[in-house]
């Protein structure tokens, strides 16, 4: 079926055509975390409102979403929100502490902890997200597609159990390895909530969704197959006939082949995997997205332009979405972000 048959097609539909595998002269371009802290107009709002107020106020979230589009003219917008609105809705307290990051004062580590975790009515608990989508679509005025997103169940579990950010998420892994039945119960609750959440986003009008498995690469291939992939598979199964689904699992290049068989429309690739390797591992037919090293945006603009051309030459213009390999860094110069976007938009083989 045409996954966008029920939606008005944006005037610039490059992203949707890339997700369908259509032949293109240049790939679409957007940047992960493009609505964010590298922009002075974002920082002006940040200075007035705390993080979750920005997420939970539709007027602010929609304004932040369209800020980079006004400045750079990307081919897609991604809704300003956060993956941790899901645990908040599930009766798990989440704070964002300045100069620290996410903090969950009551992490989930025992049966008693898990019993207080709910699968919520997402239409009530996350209503502010759907209102932000409606207001964003009004601002975009049919020009480009809007992407909705969620964290993967494994990545959400990492924060829920660890209680904060981590380079290793050792407590989260310990929970999975020492109490696997509890871990799988928590993962299923997160999955059920995420599916309902993403379906409601599609109903509100997003044109595609991306699942961020930010910590997938911390798992061995065998553990990825148990604690991450099956839950992303459930999400794809439930969403793929409603809209295109992009799976992005940072560091889990070893899983590209299995992820290519999920029914997802595209797979994100980080910068540690070459385009040639990503194509070979994923079977060569699925759309790939990535994979410019975000730190490479600290190179001179002319270097960025040359590297972008090389990247597109390697991936090809069809079955490809130009993007970073992870989120844009907060200290990237504005002209360097522009050089990246412009190099894609001006590409010719």
Binding site for substrate: what residues are annotated?
Answer: 33-37, 52, 82, 159, 214, 326
CA max distance for the chain: 59
- Among 46, 103, 127, 254, the active-site one is 46
> Which DSSP letter does residue 250 get?
T
33 has catalytic annotation: yes
Neighbours of 11 (CB within 10 A): 10
Strand 101-103 relative to strand 95-97, pairing: antiparallel
17 has catalytic annotation: no
SS3 content of the chain, % helix, strand, coil (to 5): 50, 10, 40
- Among 33, 113, 128, 226, the active-site one is 33
Among 305, 295, 346, residue whose Cα is nearest residue 325: 295
**How many angstroms separate the Cα of 333 from the Cα of each of 14, 70, 240, 250, 336?**
26, 17, 37, 24, 5
Among 103, 213, 108, residue whose Cα is nearest residue 164: 103
Phi-psi category of 33—alpha, beta or left, where left has phi over 0 and alpha has psi -120 to 50?
Answer: left
- Among 17, 20, 37, 226, the active-site one is 37
User: Binding site membership: which residues?
Assistant: 33-37, 52, 82, 159, 214, 326
128 has catalytic annotation: no
- Among 38, 72, 130, 159, the active-site one is 159
Give the DSSP per-residue string, 249-316. ETT-GGGHHHHTTTT-SEEEE-TTS-HHHHHHHHTS-SEEEEEE-GGGGGS-HHHHHHHHHHHHHHH-
37 has catalytic annotation: yes
SS3 assignment, position 183: helix
- Among 17, 20, 71, 82, the active-site one is 82
**Matching residue, tokens 């759907």:** 130
- Rounded Cα gap, residues 197 and 87, in angstroms: 12
159 has catalytic annotation: yes
Q: Residues with catalytic annotation?
A: 33, 37, 46, 82, 159
């Amino acid at each position: 079926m045409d996954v966008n048959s029920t939606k008005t097609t944006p005037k610039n539909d490059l992203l949707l055509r890339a997700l369908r595998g259509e032949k293109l002269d240049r790939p679409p371009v957007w940047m992960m975390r493009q609505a964010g802290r590298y922009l002075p107009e974002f920082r002006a709002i940040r200075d007035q409102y705390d993080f979750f107020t920005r997420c939970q106020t539709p007027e602010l979230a929609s304004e932040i979403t369209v800020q980079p589009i006004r400045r750079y003219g990307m081919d897609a917008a991604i809704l300003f929100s956060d993956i941790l609105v899901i645990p908040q809705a599930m009766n798990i307290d989440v704070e964002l502490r300045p100069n620290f990051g996410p903090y969950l004062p009551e992490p989930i580590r025992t049966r008693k902890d898990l019993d207080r975790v709910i699968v919520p009515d997402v239409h009530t608990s996350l209503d502010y997200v759907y209102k932000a989508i409606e207001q964003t679509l009004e601002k975009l005025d049919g020009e480009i597609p809007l992407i909705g997103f969620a964290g993967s169940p494994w990545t959400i579990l990492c924060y829920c159990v660890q209680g904060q950010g981590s380079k290793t998420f050792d407590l989260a892994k310990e929970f999975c390895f020492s109490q696997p039945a509890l871990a799988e119960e928590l993962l299923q609750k997160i999955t059920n909530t995420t599916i309902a959440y993403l379906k409601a986003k599609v109903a509100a009008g997003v044109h595609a969704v991306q699942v961020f498995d930010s910590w997938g690469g911390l798992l061995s291939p065998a553990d990825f197959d148990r604690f991450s992939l099956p839950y992303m598979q459930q999400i794809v199964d439930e969403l793929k006939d409603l809209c295109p689904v992009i799976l992005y699992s940072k560091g889990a290049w070893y899983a590209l082949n299995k992820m290519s068989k999920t029914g997802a429309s595209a797979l994100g690739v980080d910068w540690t995997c070459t385009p040639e390797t990503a194509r070979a591992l994923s079977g060569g037919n699925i759309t790939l997205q990535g994979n410019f090293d975000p730190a490479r945006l600290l190179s001179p603009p002319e270097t960025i332009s040359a590297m972008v051309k090389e990247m597109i030459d390697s991936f090809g213009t069809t079955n490809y979405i130009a993007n970073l390999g992870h989120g844009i860094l907060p200290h990237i110069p504005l002209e360097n972000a522009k050089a990246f976007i412009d190099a894609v938009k001006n590409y010719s083989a």
